[in-house]
């Protein structure tokens, strides 16, 4: 009892000093910070975190969420229920707590009018929100992703919800098999995503233009896209592919057969770089997952594959020819410019596959093929020019040598004549 | 002995000319000109080689003018056009660039051979002086011509080169502005250098060259020291022997030029972009390298003066002394070789060679 | 001393051969020079100001891809009769952009990147705007140059 009294008095006196100091600098009293700082680890970690918190920098402090009395140095008073102290909020309480401000449009308008205020409404439609309502304490709520203390704006690269960090944040739960036991969903999405084109773009190349978890699943309203709307989701970036697919025979067929549109051929998390081998009738062709020899799809696949292969080969040949000419020090800038167009045509032809119409693919390929043929022709003439120059030099040297020999003979002749005279 | 109407074409032409111009005076004079035959005879050819290469420059230069366009927005593209679209444009341009370098090299060899044989001694002092002026003009040709394609290397090399001019005290800034057409290297510099390169320098060069050749023809070839009068079997006639041999050498030089143009074509590089930082490895043409490298080696300050100023002044004084060598060399007009001068010459040659090599190795 | 007929005929032969050699040599020199002087098909050097097209070719609210140096450029005749030109290489992953008259925007088909008619990247993955060029009309011709 005496020790407790001693401890409290020490805390109170130091706290008085703090608040005196703060009073000198004109700050509002915040005994929460004072005590927690003084108490050292582990109590001071929330204070350190709070220093970079976006709420803190906007003068929204401990009591605004936790309640309590920030003027009192007495812990019993400061953290009393009468003062409104709620302690560490329960899992279910957190969403209501955050929404108290974040769903209030006029309140948020004073801080950042551009911030949405529908997060809670969206959250309630999400898998996380629905399960939370059923009493599941393991699902994510606001603090799970955004943190509790040390929350930064989504535009801040330090934030756990900054686009380049989102995948790691989601993976904290979704990648933990023990945690996710009983939910019957895979836990290897992050590993798959890491290997995918999108994952490499975001995680390795820091390309903010590439999608991460929330771009396809939504963030507050996080739900896996429905089977018939996958092409819409992918189409937010791959607009042309979506357009072509939705006009093609495959859309109605896939939807009818409950096949997840783009994902059927390309995967969802582990979207690998496409290759021409995915098309056609070969071993790695995705067409062969459904089609078999003899049906119309098989024929179309084979012919489209042939068209693309011929254009791709033409492009490669053109590139090789340009290299050859360039290695012979011939000027190839014009040819390299034209090669760009061929590359563009190749991309467009490959995109045209998604129409699943052979005639359109063949049409698309024509210009590129012609351009590649032109490049090859011109590069070959440059190489010919290289040899032509050397041959010309050889002939010139021959003439000069001949003339030099004759001249030398003439000189000798003249000098002999002079000696005789 | 043959009657007039049986005379050969050659005889008839000669008679036709003789009736109008004093041909016999010219041929009479020419027949007397002799070239000494001794171990050093080979050096006599280098003056002619330099002249030949200059003629090549004039011819290829005029041809280039048909397609080259001056102006910062046109120069580079016109040279690229020349190299890629114009038939044999690559050949003309490469020959022009290679011949420029060979010409400066030949001029240096010619100059040093004249120095070491003391051919500059009385009465040929002003042949030496005009020759030195020609060498300086050749270097100026090289410097101005280098900028004309308006590529990165040339742009920054010109900037560095003209910066050095600006180092000269008192007149430096004035000269720099005059050369650059402003405080910086811009399209104005290009226009100026073009004017220098195709009009001013050729004009002055031709006049001084004519004087130089006139002196050589009038005074004849210099004899090796200590052997003023040569026995007839120790000389060869200038016409036709030496001239034909000279032509033979010129043919071989032409072939070498063609070889260089075909197998080592001159590059064009990137278009000049004043807003980028200087590319790695900018350096002047090899004939400036030894001076450039010397300046790089000099410390920032020597006594109270800036290192660069001392360097430029040093080269200036050295150049002046070199031009005045015929007047400073008392011994040679008495027929004796000054050993001191031979050593000085050797030191200079070795210095130039070593500094040039270092310049390339270090860059 | 007179030279005998043997030497005389040898001299004549050598002179003829020498003459022939000189003619061949002159031919070898003059052939490239004459070819050089004949103007190539494209008679002028392409300058940093490029003729991107003619007014007739590019109606209002349309675009045209042209070659600028060794880069593709896009020339746009905007709906309010202005002329704009940009570097046509998308700043995201290098595809060639196109003009969309339904959107009045510049669009990249590869990943749905959108640019406005000032070249600014307004939607999708592109991280930077398109480099703008100067456009000058001379009669019916449209000249594009670097700013």
Most confident of A124-133, B2-11, B250-259, C42-51: B250-259
**What is the pLDDT at residue C146?**
79
Q: Which helix (H) or strand (E) holds A346?
A: helix A333-352
**Cβ-defined contact of C95 to A344 (cutoff 8 Å):** yes
Predicted confidence (pLDDT) at residue A301 exceeds the cutoff of 60: yes
**What is the pLDDT at residue B133?**
96
Mean pLDDT of all residues in B311-327: 91
**What is the pLDDT at residue B85?**
87
**What is the pLDDT at residue A323?**
93
| C-alpha torsion sign, points B11, B16, B17, B20 | positive
A173 vs C1, higher pLDDT: A173
Phi, psi (5° rounding) for residue B199? -120, -65
**What is the pLDDT at residue B306?**
82
Most confident of A65-69, B145-149, B292-296: B145-149
Predicted confidence (pLDDT) at residue B4 exceeds the cutoff of 70: no
**Cβ-defined contact of C42 to B85 (cutoff 8 Å):** yes
Query: Taking CB atoms and an 8 Å cutoff, what residues of chain C touch A402?
Result: 21, 24
Q: How far is CA B212 from the centre of its chain?
A: 13
Class of domain A296-420: mainly alpha
- Of C37, C40, C145, nearest to B85 by CB-CB distance is C40
Q: Which has the closest alpha carbon to A216: A191, A194, A235?
A: A235
Most confident of A204-218, B46-60, C52-66: B46-60
CB atoms within 10 A of CB B73: 15
Cα of C41 to nearest chain B Cα, Å = 8
pLDDT tens by residue, B69-105: 998 888 998 998 999 889 999 999 999 999 999 999 9
Mean pLDDT of chain B: 88
Angle at which helix A358-420 crosses helix C5-37, to 10 degrees, equals 150
C-beta of residue A61 within 8 angstroms of C-beta of residue A97: no
How many Cβ contacts (< 8 angstroms) between chains B and C?
45
**What is the pLDDT at residue A354?**
93
**What is the pLDDT at residue A27?**
65
Percent share of chain A, pLDDT over 70 = 95
A303 vs A20, higher pLDDT: A303
**Cβ-defined contact of C46 to B77 (cutoff 8 Å):** yes
**Cβ-defined contact of B80 to A414 (cutoff 8 Å):** no
Predicted confidence (pLDDT) at residue A375 exceeds the cutoff of 60: yes
- Of A209, A235, A402, nearest to C125 by CB-CB distance is A209
**Cβ-defined contact of A397 to B255 (cutoff 8 Å):** yes
CA atoms of A45 and B241, how far apart (whole Å): 102
User: B241 touching A, CB under 8 A?
Assistant: yes
pLDDT category at A17 given cuts 50, 70, 90 is: low
C-beta of residue A64 within 8 angstroms of C-beta of residue A58: no
**Cβ-defined contact of C33 to B63 (cutoff 8 Å):** yes
Q: For the complex shown, is ipTM > 0.85?
A: no
Can you count the helices (H) and strands (E) in chain B? 15, 4
**What is the pLDDT at residue C2?**
58
Q: Write down which chains contact chain B via at least 3 CB pairs under 8 A.
A: A, C
B102, two tokens: 């060979």
SS3 C8: helix
Give the list of residues 6+ apart from residue B2 with CB closer than 8 angstroms, or none: none
Mean pLDDT of all residues in B108-112: 95
Percent share of chain B, pLDDT over 90 = 47
Cα of C38 to nearest chain B Cα, Å = 8
**Cβ-defined contact of B77 to C49 (cutoff 8 Å):** no
In chain B, which among 88-107 make CB contacts under 8 A with chain A?
A: 90-91
Cα of B240 to nearest chain C Cα, Å = 15
**Cβ-defined contact of A411 to B84 (cutoff 8 Å):** no
pLDDT category at B228 given cuts 50, 70, 90 is: low
Query: Taking CB atoms and an 8 Å cutoff, what residues of chain C touch A237?
Result: 111-112, 124-125
CA atoms of B279 and B152, how far apart (whole Å): 7
Is A57 exposed, middle or buried, given 0-12, 13-18 or 19+ CB atoms closer than 10 A? exposed
C-beta of residue B242 within 8 angstroms of C-beta of residue B248: no
Chain C residues with CB under 8 Å of a chain A CB are 1, 3, 10-11, 14-15, 17-18, 21-22, 24-25, 28, 67, 70-72, 92, 95-96, 109-113, 124-127
**Cβ-defined contact of B63 to C37 (cutoff 8 Å):** yes
**Mutation site for A-interface testing, chosen from C17, C64, C113 by largest number of A Cβ within 10 Å:** C17
pLDDT tens by residue, B280-312: 777 788 899 899 888 888 888 888 788 888 888
The residue assigned the tokens 């011994």 is B331
Percent share of chain A, pLDDT over 90 = 44
Predicted confidence (pLDDT) at residue B111 exceeds the cutoff of 90: yes
CA atoms of A211 and C12, how far apart (whole Å): 89
Q: Flag residues of chain C having pLDDT under 50.
A: none
Q: Which helix (H) or strand (E) holds A362?
A: helix A358-420
pLDDT category at A166 given cuts 50, 70, 90 is: very high
Predicted confidence (pLDDT) at residue A157 exceeds the cutoff of 60: yes
**What is the pLDDT at residue B258?**
95
pLDDT tens by residue, A341-359: 899 899 999 999 999 999 9
Mean pLDDT of chain A: 88
pLDDT category at B189 given cuts 50, 70, 90 is: very high
CA atoms of C6 and C2, how far apart (whole Å): 11
| Cα separations in angstroms, B187 against B70, B78, B242, C136 | 9, 15, 47, 22
Predicted confidence (pLDDT) at residue A193 exceeds the cutoff of 90: yes
- Of C21, C110, C113, nearest to A402 by CB-CB distance is C21
Q: Which of A13-22, A111-120, B179-188, C44-53 has the lowest mean pLDDT?
A: A13-22
Parallel, antiparallel or unpaired: strands C141-146 and C132-138: antiparallel
Q: Write down which chains contact chain A via at least 3 CB pairs under 8 A.
A: B, C
């Amino acid at each position: 009892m005496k020790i407790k009294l001693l401890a409290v008095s020490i805390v109170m006196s130091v706290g008085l000093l703090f608040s005196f100091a703060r009073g000198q600098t004109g700050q509002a009293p915040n005994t929460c910070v004072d005590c927690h700082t003084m108490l050292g680890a582990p109590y001071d970690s929330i204070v350190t975190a709070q220093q970079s918190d976006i709420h803190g920098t906007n003068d929204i402090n401990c009591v605004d969420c936790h309640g309590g009395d920030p003027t009192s140095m007495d812990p019993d008073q400061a953290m009393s229920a009468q003062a409104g102290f709620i302690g560490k909020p329960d899992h279910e309480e957190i969403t209501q707590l955050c929404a108290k401000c974040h769903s209030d449009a006029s309140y948020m308008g004073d801080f950042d009018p551009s911030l949405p205020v529908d997060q809670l409404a969206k959250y309630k439609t999400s898998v996380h929100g629905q399960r939370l309502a059923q009493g599941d304490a393991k699902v994510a709520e606001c603090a799970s992703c955004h943190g509790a203390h040390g929350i930064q704006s989504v535009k801040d690269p330090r934030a756990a919800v900054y686009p380049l960090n989102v995948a790691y944040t989601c993976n904290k739960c979704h990648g933990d098999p023990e945690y996710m036991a009983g939910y019957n969903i895979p836990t290897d999405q992050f590993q798959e995503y890491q290997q995918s084109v999108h994952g490499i773009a975001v995680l390795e190349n820091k390309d903010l233009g590439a999608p991460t978890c929330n771009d396809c699943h939504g963030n507050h309203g996080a739900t896996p896209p429905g089977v018939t709307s996958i092409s819409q989701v992918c189409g937010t970036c791959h607009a042309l592919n979506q357009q072509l697919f939705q006009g093609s025979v495959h859309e109605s067929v896939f939807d009818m057969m409950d096949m997840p549109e783009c994902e059927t051929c390309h995967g969802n998390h582990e979207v690998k770089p496409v290759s021409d081998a995915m098309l056609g009738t070969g071993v790695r062709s995705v067409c062969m997952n459904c089609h078999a020899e003899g049906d119309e799809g098989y024929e179309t696949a084979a012919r489209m594959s042939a068209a693309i292969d011929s254009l791709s080969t033409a492009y490669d040949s053109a590139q090789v020819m340009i290299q050859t000419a360039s290695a012979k020090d011939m000027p190839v800038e014009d040819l390299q410019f034209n090669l760009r167009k061929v590359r563009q045509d190749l991309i467009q032809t490959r995109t045209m596959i998604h129409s699943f119409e052979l005639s359109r693919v063949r049409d698309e390929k024509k210009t590129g093929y012609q351009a590649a043929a032109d490049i090859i022709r011109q590069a070959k003439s440059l190489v010919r020019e290289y040899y032509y120059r050397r041959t010309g030099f050889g002939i010139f040297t021959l003439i000069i040598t001949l003339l030099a020999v004759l001249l030398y003979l003439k000189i000798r002749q003249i000098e002999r004549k002079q000696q005789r005279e | 002995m043959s009657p007039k109407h049986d005379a050969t074409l050659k005889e008839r032409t000669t008679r036709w000319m003789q009736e109008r111009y004093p041909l016999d005076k010219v041929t009479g004079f020419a027949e007397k000109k002799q070239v000494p035959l001794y171990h050093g005879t080979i050096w006599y050819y280098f003056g002619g080689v330099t002249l030949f290469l200059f003629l090549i420059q004039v011819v290829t230069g005029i041809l280039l003018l048909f397609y080259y366009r001056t102006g910062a927005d046109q120069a580079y593209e016109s040279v690229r056009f020349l190299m890629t679209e114009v038939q044999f444009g690559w050949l003309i341009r490469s020959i022009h660039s290679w011949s420029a370098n060979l010409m400066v090299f030949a001029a240096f060899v010619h100059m040093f051979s004249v120095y070491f044989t003391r051919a500059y001694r009385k009465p040929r002092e002003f042949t030496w002086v005009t020759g030195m002026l020609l060498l300086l003009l050749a270097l100026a040709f090289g410097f101005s011509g280098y900028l004309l394609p308006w590529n990165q290397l040339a742009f920054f090399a010109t900037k560095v080169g003209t910066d050095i001019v600006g180092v000269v005290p008192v007149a430096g800034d004035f000269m720099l502005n005059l050369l650059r057409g402003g405080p910086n290297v811009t399209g104005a510099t290009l226009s100026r250098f073009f004017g220098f390169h195709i009009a001013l320098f050729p004009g002055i060069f031709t006049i001084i060259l004519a004087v130089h050749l006139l002196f050589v023809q009038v005074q004849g070839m210099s004899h090796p020291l200590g052997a003023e009068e040569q026995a007839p079997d120790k000389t060869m006639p200038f016409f036709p022997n030496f001239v034909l041999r000279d032509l033979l050498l010129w043919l071989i030089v032409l072939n070498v030029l063609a070889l260089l143009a075909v197998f080592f074509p001159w590059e064009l590089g990137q278009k000049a972009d004043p807003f980028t930082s200087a590319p790695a490895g900018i350096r002047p043409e090899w004939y400036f390298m030894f001076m450039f490298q010397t300046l790089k080696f000099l410390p920032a300050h020597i006594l109270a003066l800036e290192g660069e100023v001392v360097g430029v002044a040093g080269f200036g004084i050295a150049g002046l002394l070199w031009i005045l060598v015929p007047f400073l060399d008392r011994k040679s007009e008495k027929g004796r070789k000054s050993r001191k001068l031979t050593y000085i010459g050797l030191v200079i040659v070795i210095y130039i060679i070593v500094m040039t090599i270092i310049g390339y190795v270090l860059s | 001393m007179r030279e005998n007929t043997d030497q005389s005929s040898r001299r004549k032969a050598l002179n003829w051969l020498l003459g022939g050699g000189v003619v061949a040599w002159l031919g070898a020199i003059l052939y490239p020079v004459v070819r050089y002087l004949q103007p190539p098909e494209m008679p002028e050097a392409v300058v940093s100001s490029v003729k991107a097209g003619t007014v007739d070719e590019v109606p209002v609210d349309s675009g045209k891809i042209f070659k600028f140096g060794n880069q593709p450029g896009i020339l746009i005749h905007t709906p309010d009769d202005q002329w704009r030109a940009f570097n046509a290489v998308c700043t995201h992953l290098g595809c060639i952009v196109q003009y969309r008259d339904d959107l009045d925007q510049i669009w990249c088909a590869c990943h749905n990147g959108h640019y406005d008619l000032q070249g600014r990247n307004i939607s999708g993955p592109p991280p930077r705007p398109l480099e703008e060029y100067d456009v000058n009309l001379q009669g019916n011709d449209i000249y594009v140059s670097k700013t």
